[in-house]
Amino acid sequence: MDFTLTPEQQLLADGLAKFLEARYDLQTSREAAKVGEGWQPAIWKAFVEDLGVVGACLPEEVGGFGGGAEELMVVTEALGHALVIEPFVDTVVLGAGLLGATGNDAARAAATRIAEGEALSALAALEDGSGGVLSRIETTATRDGDVWVLDGAKIVVTTAPLADYLLVTARTSGVANDRAGVSLFLIDLSDGAPAGLEMHRLRTIDDRQAADITFGDVRLPADALIAEDAIDILEKAWDTATAAVVSEAVGLMRKVFTDTVEYSKQREQFGVPIGSFQVLQHRMVDMHLQLEQSVAAQYLAILSLDKSPAERAAAVSAAKATISKAARFLGQNAVQLHGGMGMTEELAIGHYFKRLTAIEYEFGTADAHLARFAKATAEAATEAAGA
């Protein structure tokens, strides 16, 4: 597979890598995550104004530079390599990408604010018992005169405590599991949450800000509805975000593997580097194989984002299942080969391991994606036979 970057894409990759190496300090980012604001606004501003990273992955109609899946891969892999905590996937891929896809004027205005670095967003889509299926929701939106009334709950909405815009999926018709009737609402949180909306803040294992959200008779203006029967654009945005997280995981694993190999050359036992022990060499070869399989899966997912829904779903689910397995293998072995110090706050490897652990379950588990892959493969084969 030839995946040579264009000169522009290579320039983007090199510029972002140099910026992160020079200005993105791991200790500072961890302090921001644990005891600070949860992110670094100055870094985000530099992403927007100095590097054009945010606009690189957005279409021109919302203020972006018209980049596509390849630019998304370049950016997210670099962000993973540096363990960036700023909410790029939530805000740019899911937020602005989904807002722009609705065709709604208010939504596009919100996407433009995101592209300009003036706002963050979060998507409240998953519910308790949904199993990662976007259409399996019970949150309802009913019309009452000139307003919509939302009732229900969403779980583990990452970036919600930081967000200026909250995108919410709710059922305007049908029952749970129906693909029809899933609509998308936009809530502006810049002036505070509307009455009846409660956020129960939490911090995830990888130190990101999140919240469980309940909606109790939340009354929204009529224009808060930005997309009816939105399941198709939701699934495409979700698959794009999943591919972005796959790419982020590759960046994380490259760093974890490199640091582990370097450590094995320096750490001595019985008077020799532990990297000279054949059993540990075999372990690191297995880690390298898992990493290379993940890179191939990453390319498959990225190159399939513009294909038919069934082909896209099969490729993305195959990649996510592969990544989930590899993330666990590389993370656990890297910590083990570093010994007890692998889980200390002072060493980067422990922080990377936590993020890899979160990615294993984020956007669906390996088992869920294997089942989705089987279903999507059958659908793609049926489409091909009927063509």
Last residue of a domain, one of 90, 119, 148: 119
* Residue 352 domain-assigned (yes or no): yes
Q: Which structural domain range is residue 113 located in?
A: 7-119
* Residue 302 domain-assigned (yes or no): yes
Q: How many domains does the chain divide into?
A: 3
Last residue of a domain, one of 230, 246, 263: 230
Question: Would the pLDDT of 387 be above 80?
Answer: no
Are 278 and 328 found together in one domain?
yes
Q: What percent of the chain has pLDDT over 90?
A: 81
* Residue 2 domain-assigned (yes or no): no
| CATH number for position 196 | 2.40.110.10
In angstroms, the CA 319 to CA 324 distance is: 9
Are 272 and 379 found together in one domain?
yes
Are 168 and 256 found together in one domain?
no
Are 273 and 257 found together in one domain?
yes
Type of residue numbered 289: L
The full DSSP string for 21-46 is HHH--HHHHHHHHHTSSSS-HHHHHH
In angstroms, the CA 339 to CA 43 distance is: 33
Are 360 and 274 found together in one domain?
yes
Q: What percent of the chain has pLDDT over 70?
A: 99
The per-residue pLDDT for range 216-256, each reduced to its tens digit, is 999 999 999 999 999 999 999 999 999 999 999 999 999 99
| CATH number for position 357 | 1.20.140.10
Question: Would the pLDDT of 368 be above 80?
Answer: yes
Grade residue 92 by pLDDT with cuts at 50, 70 and 90: very high
Are 221 and 246 found together in one domain?
no
Grade residue 1 by pLDDT with cuts at 50, 70 and 90: low
Are 195 and 236 found together in one domain?
no
User: For residue 2, what pLDDT is reported?
Assistant: 62
Cβ distance 351 to 259 under 8 Å?
A: no
* Residue 1 domain-assigned (yes or no): no
* Residue 378 domain-assigned (yes or no): yes
Are 212 and 271 found together in one domain?
no
* Residue 184 domain-assigned (yes or no): yes
Average pLDDT over residues 10-37: 93
The per-residue pLDDT for range 54-68, each reduced to its tens digit, is 999 999 989 888 889
Are 238 and 353 found together in one domain?
yes
In angstroms, the CA 238 to CA 241 distance is: 5
Put residue 207 in one of left, alpha, beta given phi > 0 → left and psi -120 to 50 → alpha: left
Are 42 and 83 found together in one domain?
yes
Are 199 and 289 found together in one domain?
no
The per-residue pLDDT for range 275-319, each reduced to its tens digit, is 778 888 999 999 999 999 999 999 999 999 999 999 999 999 999
3-state helix, strand, coil in the chain (%, to 5): 60, 15, 25
Those residues whose C-beta lies under 8 Å from the C-beta of residue 369, and which sit 6 or more positions away, are 316, 317, 318, 320, 321, 324
In angstroms, the CA 178 to CA 155 distance is: 20
* Residue 304 domain-assigned (yes or no): yes
Last residue of a domain, one of 174, 204, 230: 230
Question: Would the pLDDT of 329 be above 60?
Answer: yes
Residue 95: HSE in the Cβ half-sphere, 13 Å Cα cutoff: 30
* Residue 95 domain-assigned (yes or no): yes
| CATH number for position 15 | 1.10.540.10
In angstroms, the CA 226 to CA 223 distance is: 7
User: pTM of the full predicted structure?
Assistant: 0.94
Are 143 and 160 found together in one domain?
yes
- The average confidence (pLDDT) of the chain is 93
